[in-house]
């Protein structure tokens, strides 16, 4: 069996140094065009396929970016990946996907696997939990990291997300504009910054029309359809029931609607419902949901643009004598809020009024 050629073999055959071959593999501009052509010709003649590790020898680059996901089954994962792929296809980089699972609650395990491979030049992380300390440590150590749609927006590292306060204010205003005044708010029972922000947006919208939030109209439950159904039972048990509800997550909203219909309430005739996310239900919904659209594909694309820029920033700083290249000086320039949009469908009753 013919032995596989190494970078050292290609360097010897081309009459150049091993580092020059590595620079060619990494598409460095520091290689003379004639030398580059000679090295590429030797690699082609001998059918040389570089190893992933070898491509990173010059400048420490592998031209790979890692993506960590809680699970591919998570509704927004594929949309985010689509946005990432759109940007990566136009770059010299490729993707390594590190997926968790619904059972794997601790994202640190996934991060440890990423670091153990020594392959990725940077990391895009999509989380549905609070931020693990390991992410901060990575960034502080000079490893390019960008968070996408993080539930804890108040973090001092690069991220891409949305203005949850403004989005929730828009959702609640819509119900107010439809004439509702007794508006409930359904929250996820988790201590996430985004949940607090959405509640604040709800309160701000009520305050704009002189209303004070009624504590008995604010209920919380699990981040799923069962949690939404539980919240519906709580609200329908009240002596003075709400005429509308803003639900902080679509899966909860679908559970809320199912339970409302089961209890004999009509949506939107008896209660108007607005959700948050614009994610399709697992099963066919009995009522089309009015909701806040989060631009998940755009989040993936913008996050990838930020990460690639961070990687370039790191290597530029290293070439200039910096020890790590990161963290960047003005972190706010690397934290991006994308706009959301209210998508009006059947569940709020607006179409019937018009």
Banded model confidence at residue 87, pLDDT cuts 50, 70, 90: very high
Alpha carbons within 13 angstroms on the beta-carbon side of residue 236 total 18
* Residues 4 and 10: beta-carbon distance below 8 Å: no
User: Burial code of 191-219, b = ≥16 C-beta within 10 A, e = fewer?
Assistant: ebbbbebbbebbbebbeeeeeebeeebbb
More confident residue, 48 or 1: 48
More confident residue, 29 or 288: 288
Give the pair of three-digit tokens for residue 105: 């609650």
Q: Which residues are 99's β-sheet partners?
A: 69
Alpha carbons within 13 angstroms on the beta-carbon side of residue 182 total 12
In the 8-state DSSP scheme, what is residue 341?
E
Closest Cα partner for 43 from 82, 96, 6, 73? 6
Most confident of 33-42, 107-116, 166-175: 166-175
Banded model confidence at residue 111, pLDDT cuts 50, 70, 90: low
| Range 198-203 average pLDDT | 97
| Spatial separation of the C-alpha atoms in residues 302 and 190, rounded to whole Å | 27
DSSP labels, 203-224: HHHHHHTT----GGGEEEE-SS
Report pLDDT for 152: 59
* Residues 211 and 174: beta-carbon distance below 8 Å: no
Phi-psi group of 289: left, alpha or beta (phi > 0 → left; psi -120 to 50 → alpha; rest → beta): beta
pTM above 0.75, yes or no: yes
* Residues 328 and 314: beta-carbon distance below 8 Å: no
Q: Terminal CA-to-CA distance of the chain, rounded, Å? A: 76
Give the pair of three-digit tokens for residue 118: 């020594």
Report pLDDT for 202: 98
Pairing mode, strands 183-188 and 218-221? parallel
Report pLDDT for 58: 43
Report pLDDT for 294: 95
Report pLDDT for 54: 47
Q: What is the separation of C-alpha 282 from the centre of its chain, rounded to a whole number of angstroms?
A: 20
Banded model confidence at residue 57, pLDDT cuts 50, 70, 90: very low
Give the pair of three-digit tokens for residue 13: 């055959």
Helix (H) or strand (E) holding 283: none
| Spatial separation of the C-alpha atoms in residues 335 and 303, rounded to whole Å | 9
DSSP labels, 175-198: HHHTT--SEEEEEESS--HHHHHH
Question: Reduced to 3 states, what is the DSSP secondary structure of residue 114?
Answer: helix
Closest Cα partner for 171 from 184, 160, 158, 159? 184
Helix (H) or strand (E) holding 140: helix 133-140
Between the alpha carbon of residue 300 and those of residues 64, 84, 158, the distances in Å are 16, 5, 13
Per DSSP (E only), the strands in 60-189 are: 64-69, 94-99, 122-126, 145-148, 159-162, 183-188
């Amino acid at each position: 069996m013919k032995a596989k050629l190494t970078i050292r073999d290609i360097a010897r055959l081309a009459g150049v140094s091993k580092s020059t071959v590595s620079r060619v593999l990494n598409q460095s501009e520091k290689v003379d065009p004639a030398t580059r052509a000679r090295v590429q010709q030797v690699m082609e003649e001998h059918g040389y396929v570089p190893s992933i590790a070898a491509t990173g020898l010059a400048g420490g680059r592998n031209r790979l970016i890692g993506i960590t996901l809680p699970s591919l089954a998570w509704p927004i994962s594929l949309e985010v990946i689509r946005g990432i792929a759109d940007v990566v296809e136009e770059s010299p980089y490729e993707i390594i996907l590190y997926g968790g699972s619904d059972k794997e609650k601790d994202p640190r395990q996934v991060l440890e696997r990423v670091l153990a491979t020594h392959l990725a030049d940077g990391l895009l992380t999509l989380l549905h939990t609070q931020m693990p300390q390991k992410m901060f440590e990575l960034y502080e150590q000079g490893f390019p990291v960008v968070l996408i749609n993080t539930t804890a927006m108040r973090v001092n590292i690069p991220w891409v997300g949305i203005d949850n306060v403004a989005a929730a204010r828009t959702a609640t205003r819509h119900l107010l504009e439809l004439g509702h005044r007794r508006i409930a708010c359904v929250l996820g029972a988790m201590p996430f910054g985004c949940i607090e922000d959405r509640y604040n947006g709800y309160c701000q919208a009520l305050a704009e029309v002189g209303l004070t939030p009624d504590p008995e109209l604010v209920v919380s439950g699990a981040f799923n359809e069962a949690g939404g159904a539980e919240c519906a039972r709580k609200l329908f048990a009240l002596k003075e029931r709400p005429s509308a509800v803003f639900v902080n997550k679509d899966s909860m909203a679908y559970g809320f609607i199912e339970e409302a219909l089961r209890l004999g309430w009509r949506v939107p005739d008896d209660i108007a419902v607005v959700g948050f996310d614009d994610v399709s239900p697992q099963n066919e919904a009995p009522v089309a949901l009015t909701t806040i659209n989060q631009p998940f594909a755009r989040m993936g694309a913008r996050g990838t643009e930020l990460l690639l820029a961070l990687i370039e920033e790191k290597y530029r700083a290293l070439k200039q004598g910096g020890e790590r290249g990161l963290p960047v000086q003005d972190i706010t320039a690397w934290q991006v809020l994308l706009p959301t949009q209210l998508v009006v469908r059947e569940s709020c009753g607006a179409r019937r009024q018009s």
